[in-house]
């Protein structure tokens, strides 16, 4: 079972992100043929007799990323996505979750329809632009469009589409089963940045005042203020809560509030466990069709699943990222 690289999969999604005319050149010239590559696995470049290895490249990439804001860094995010893909494959094998041929074909056809609609929309815009300029009308051919926009042949695109369809179905099966087979509950939090606010919240909670009203008044978390403290549905160790808060949360009874939980930077959390749903103990085979019929898994749900599976220690996970965890020559 093969999962496509994230970067390649993301490229194919460009068709969905917009069908503007910018960047498309009809009849682009083919690049001259290059000499056969002599580089071996884990070698990314040769300069004279000097070889630049994949680890040299990763180390430079990580060092460069340190100069950009954390929110814009991609190296560890891409590595996390690779880890998540491997976890998905291993969980699918453990559960014996596999898309059937007819299911896979139906998903491929559904995706093809979306891409074709995007292509048709592109050609519509192209013709309108040609009419506006008084130029001869000429639509783009599908294979040329794929080559120009994605640098893929039609065969490569079809193979990629099939891989994406398989991954989509696996996520529905594996993540859907995890959501059903794992206890989950509604979480509410209040985050304060001073000890005086912590004491005020603690005293008012002890008097039975409404948690949501206190979140609106005291929480420094903007989302919590607007949502009366509601985080939403959480699963054990799914990353939605701070690790210390998560640990305390699952020890609470339904409807119970925690005491003050001190975290970094002198800040304090209070957490409340609201409605809970016990794990469905049915086997995967019994819930397969229900999972398959569910909505596609977005990145928020997938990240929560990944975080929870990693925390479960079911699979041993290690990381050695040159420039972050070590030097390339170590």
Contact yes or no for 269/180 (Cβ under 8 A): no
CATH of 183-277, one of 3.40.50.720, 3.40.1440.10, 3.10.50.40, 3.40.50.300: 3.10.50.40
Long-range CB contacts for residues 136-140, cutoff 8 Å, separation at least 24: 138/26, 140/24, 140/26
Q: What is the pTM of this model?
A: 0.82
Cβ-Cβ contacts under 8 Å for 253 (sequence gap 6 or more): 273
Q: How much is the pLDDT for 24?
A: 47
Contact yes or no for 182/30 (Cβ under 8 A): no
Q: How much is the pLDDT for 231?
A: 95
* Other beta carbons less than 10 A from residue 327's beta carbon: 9
Q: Mean of the pLDDT values across residues 62-70? A: 90
Rounded distance between C-alpha atoms, residue 42 and residue 57, angstroms: 10
Rounded distance between C-alpha atoms, residue 238 and residue 303, angstroms: 8
Rounded distance between C-alpha atoms, residue 75 and residue 6, angstroms: 12
Q: Where are the domains of the chain?
A: 6-19+42-179, 183-277
Place of tokens 């229900």: 290
Q: 3-class SS at 53?
A: strand
> Residue 275: which region, alpha, beta or left (left: phi > 0; alpha: psi -120 to 50)?
beta
Q: How much is the pLDDT for 7?
A: 41
Place of tokens 């925690």: 258
Q: Mean of the pLDDT values across residues 22-44? A: 68
In sequence order, what E strands does the chain have? 43-47, 50-53, 184-192, 230-234, 261-262, 268-277
pLDDT class for 72, splitting at 50, 70, 90? confident
Question: Among 2-16, 49-63, 231-245, 297-311, which stretch is predicted with the lowest mean pLDDT?
Answer: 2-16
Rounded distance between C-alpha atoms, residue 274 and residue 312, angstroms: 23
Contact yes or no for 303/39 (Cβ under 8 A): no
Q: Reply yes or no on whether the pLDDT at 8 is more than 90.
A: no
Q: Mean of the pLDDT values across residues 17-40? A: 61
Contact yes or no for 175/301 (Cβ under 8 A): yes
Q: How much is the pLDDT for 28?
A: 43
Q: Mean of the pLDDT values across residues 71-98? A: 92
Q: How much is the pLDDT for 36?
A: 85
pLDDT class for 103, splitting at 50, 70, 90? very high
Contact yes or no for 305/174 (Cβ under 8 A): yes
Residue-wise pLDDT for 157-167, tens only, equals 999 999 999 99
Q: Mean of the pLDDT values across residues 258-264? A: 96
How close are the terminal C-alpha atoms of the chain, in Å? Answer: 33
**What six digits make up the tokens of 31?**
């690049």
- Residue of 310, 304, 281 whose CA lies nearest to 91: 310
Rounded distance between C-alpha atoms, residue 181 and residue 277, angstroms: 10
- Residue of 265, 258, 291 whose CA lies nearest to 168: 291
Contact yes or no for 218/190 (Cβ under 8 A): yes
Average pLDDT, the chain: 89
């Amino acid at each position: 079972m093969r999962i496509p690289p994230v970067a390649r999969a993301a490229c194919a999604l460009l068709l969905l992100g917009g069908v503007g005319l910018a960047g498309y050149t009809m009849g682009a010239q083919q690049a001259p043929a290059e000499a056969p590559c002599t580089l071996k696995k884990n070698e990314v470049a040769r300069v004279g007799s000097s070889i630049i290895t994949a680890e040299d490249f990763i180390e430079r990439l990580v060092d460069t990323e340190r100069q950009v804001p954390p929110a814009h860094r991609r190296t560890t995010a891409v590595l996390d996505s690779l880890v998540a893909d491997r976890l998905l494959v291993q969980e699918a094998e453990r559960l014996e979750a596999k898309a059937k041929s007819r299911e896979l074909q139906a998903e491929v056809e559904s995706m093809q329809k979306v891409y074709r609609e995007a292509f048709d929309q592109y050609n519509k815009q192209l013709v309108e632009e040609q009419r506006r300029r008084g130029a001869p009308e000429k639509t783009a051919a599908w294979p040329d469009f794929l080559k120009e926009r994605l640098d893929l042949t039609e065969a490569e695109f079809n193979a990629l589409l099939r891989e994406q369809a398989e991954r989509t179905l696996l996520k529905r099966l594996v993540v859907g089963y995890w959501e059903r087979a794992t206890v989950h509950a509604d979480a509410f939090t209040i985050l304060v940045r001073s000890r005086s606010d912590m004491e005020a919240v603690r005293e008012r909670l002890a008097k039975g005042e409404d948690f949501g009203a206190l979140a609106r008044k005291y929480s420094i978390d903007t989302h919590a203020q607007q949502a009366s403290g509601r985080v939403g549905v959480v699963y054990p160790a799914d990353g939605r809560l701070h690790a210390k808060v998560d640990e305390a949360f699952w020890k609470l009874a339904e409807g119970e509030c925690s005491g003050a939980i001190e975290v970094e930077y002198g800040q304090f959390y209070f957490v409340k466990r609201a409605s809970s749903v016990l794990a469905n103990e049915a086997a995967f085979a019994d819930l397969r069709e229900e999972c398959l019929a569910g909505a596609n898994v977005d990145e928020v749900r997938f990240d929560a699943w990944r975080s929870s599976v990693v925390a479960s220690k079911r699979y041993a996970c290690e990381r050695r990222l040159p420039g972050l965890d070590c030097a390339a020559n170590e």
